[in-house]
Every structure is written in structure tokens, then in C-alpha cells.
Structure 1
Amino acid sequence: MASDSTGAPDPDTPEDLLAWARTYAGTVDIDVDLDSVDWTVSKHARRRAGACRYDPDHGVTIVLSWHSYQAHGWAEVAATVRHELVHAWEFQRFGESGHGPRFKQQADAVDAPRHCEPFADPRYLLRCRDDDCDWSARRYRASKTVTDPGRYRCGDCGDRYVVEHADSGRTWADDAGYEQVRAELGDDW
């Protein structure tokens, strides 16, 4: 397995990335039974750097994104490994995981980011309508929060939000607006 001039891993294949990630996971000071964690690389994931899946019958699987590694390099993968190990710790101890206070406390203890760096451009942007609120969210597909935003509220202040089609800048605030913008953009959607 290759290293760059600084000694950081420089894997050429997903298999090499997994080998480095497994080795690195063993150096992270967290009480996770690594022998019962499965590892895999996704060549399809384009929105998230990693994932931690849990099945009560089969245990924990950590998935790393090959595209994230190619976009951001090893330092970001190492941060993602720490993040996913916190999820694995929660799953192994509590049978559930999220990004709440327990996660945040454990993530801080291992210097894991609470959220991983995005490496793909969103298709939609959600923004609060309240000028005093900075809440926003990125979306990559036309979920219900995108197609019918009138049914949902801002994640911080509770006000309504608006959705923007990232490529065109067109916005809408309800399902009728979504349908209208989609029809008007046609092939440019």
C-alpha cells in the first residue's frame, strides 16, 4: 500500500482504502469491538462520505465512499472513520445511533466531526424565509421536503422555508410551485 510524501496513506484501490481504514480504526481511542465491524467501500455514493449501518442480527457495517476519498483525500477519510466509529459505538452499546448529545460528546472525545464534509453539489437548497434565521439545508433529490415544502417548517425557528433549484435559481414554497418550476424548466430540470 502506498503512502504520499508526508507518510499519509495514498491508496490506489478501494481495497487499499479499506485496509488503511481498518488499521487506522484500531488507533482511535473508542470502545468499539472492531472484530465485529464489517467494512466496505461504495463506488456509487456521491453525497455522503460514509455510513454506518446496523442490523441487530448481523451487527455493524461501516461504508466509506471512494468518491469522497478521491475528492478530499486521506485526512477527510480519517475524520469520516472516526465519525462512523462513534455511530458503531452507539449501535453496539445502545442499539441505535443519531447525531444528538450522546453522539456529540463521544465525537468530541475522538475529534470526530459531527457532520462530514460534502463532496457533491446539491441539486436543491432549502432556506428559511425569516431574515433573522440562518437555517439552510442541502438536498440532492426531490424528496417530499423539496416537492411539497409547504408541509414542513424551518429546522431552527419553525418558520416556513423556500426551496431553490440550484442550477436555475428558481424557487418555490409549495407543491404547486414545485410543479410549475419543474414544468417551466423542462429539459433543464
Structure 2
Amino acid sequence: MSDGEELTLADEIVARARIHAREVIDESELAVDLGALEWDVSARARRRAGLCRWHADREVATIVLARRAYERYDWPDFAGIVRHELVHAWEFQQFGESGHGDRFRERAAALEAPRYCEAFARPRYVLRCLAADCDWRAKRHRASKPVKSPDQYRCGGCGGSYEVEHVASGRTWTTASGYGGAKSALGEEW
């Protein structure tokens, strides 16, 4: 860095994440090859606080951290996201694949990393079971097929019917035509 250059927020995020990663690796049995680990920051991510991509052709993992999550969370919570993604990097480097299964859960627990990272953005839609004895809910950020045509899908808990709520307006629907009607009625507010 030459005189006159200023660090960006992305530079700060990567620097803090790299320092934390070195500390985690030094203090644990997580054998992540830092030479085969790249870092990036997404200014566009709105839901996912972090992700780890595997480039099998180069045998390199890239951890991408969301700027918005860094701005929203305090450091201990964001550091948990870094540890979560480090576990993915370790799995990719050791096994060529990664998920949130038993192996991941064990390593994440040892590092006090969350098994799943919570979304840091408010969902646009909430799917909610209509059965009185079922409390199943799902959040969606995009108008996916289950959002657009809820009558073609079933509750993830009991298999019953569900409704979709457009969170900003509170409008709900249970059919494809109900989705169309809500979208049309809201117009610019959609």
C-alpha cells in the first residue's frame, strides 16, 4: 500500500478475517492450508453472511464474506461466520466436498462456530402452515415456485396446505391466482 491509498471496508473485513483465521488454526486442530485459501467480500449479498467456494481445478477454497453482515453484526458474531466458513474450507481441502452434516457439525462445535449462519436480511415472504397443530414456517427472499404457486406444494412439517405472506404488506395467498392478485394490487409496492 503506497502513501495516499486508503483502506476500504473490504480491506478491513479481509484483514480481520485473515487474522482471526490464523488465530483459530493456531489454537485448534483445524488443518486449513492458508496458502490454498483466498478471501473476497461481497457488497451485493443480502441474505448469506458468508460462503465458501471450492475451485477443484486449482485446489483452492475462496471464502466470501458479506459486507452488509459485517456492518450489521458485532465482531464476535461475525467471527463465528468466519469460523463457519473455515470449516467449509477445511472440508473442501480434505475431502473435496462440504456440507452441514455430522463431520461439519463436530468441527463447527469444536470451534464454537454456528452450524448454520442466520440470514441478516428480513425475508420478503413467509410461508406458514395452515394446520392448527403445526407451527412450520419458512422464509423466502425471492418469489420462488412455492411462493408463486403454494397450492402446488405442501407444508414442510406436516404435509398440509400453507399460505404465503408478503411481509412488507401483510397480504397473504394460498393459490397461484392469489399470488397474481396480491402482486397486481400492490403494484409499485411489490
User: Smaller-chain TM-score range?
Assistant: 0.7 to 0.9
Q: Following superposition of structure 1 onto structure 2, how do residues 27-38 of structure 1 map, counting pairs within 5 Å?
A: 27-28=23-24, 29=28, 30-38=30-38
> Within 2, Cα distance between the matches of 1:187 and 1:74?
37
Could you state the TM-score of these two structures normalised by the residue count of structure 1?
0.85
> Within 2, Cα distance between the matches of 1:131 and 1:122?
23
Could you state the TM-score of these two structures normalised by the residue count of structure 2?
0.85
Q: 1:187 to 1:57 in 2, by over 3 A?
A: same
Q: 1:33 to 1:152 in 2, by over 3 A?
A: farther
AA in 1 matched with 2:41: V
Deviations 1:53-83 (A, max 9, x none): 1221132110111111111121121010011
Runs of 4+ in structure 1 deviating by more than 4 angstroms, as ranges, are none
Partner of 2:3: none
Report the identity percentage: 53
> Within 1, Cα distance between the matches of 2:133 and 2:87?
34
CA contact (8 A) 1:69 1:76 kept: no
Q: Describe the SS at the equivalent of 2:15.
A: helix
Q: 1:96 to 1:155 in 2, by over 3 A?
A: farther
Q: Following superposition of structure 1 onto structure 2, how do residues 1-189 of structure 1 map, counting pairs within 5 Å?
A: 13-28=9-24, 29=28, 30-58=30-58, 59-189=60-190
Residue 12 (structure 1) shift: 6.5
Provide the aligned C-alpha RMSD in A. Answer: 1.9
Consecutive unaligned residues in structure 1, runs of 5 or more: 1-10
Larger Rg: 2
> Within 2, Cα distance between the matches of 1:157 and 1:95?
35
CA contact (8 A) 1:40 1:63 kept: yes
Consecutive unaligned residues in structure 2, runs of 5 or more: 1-6
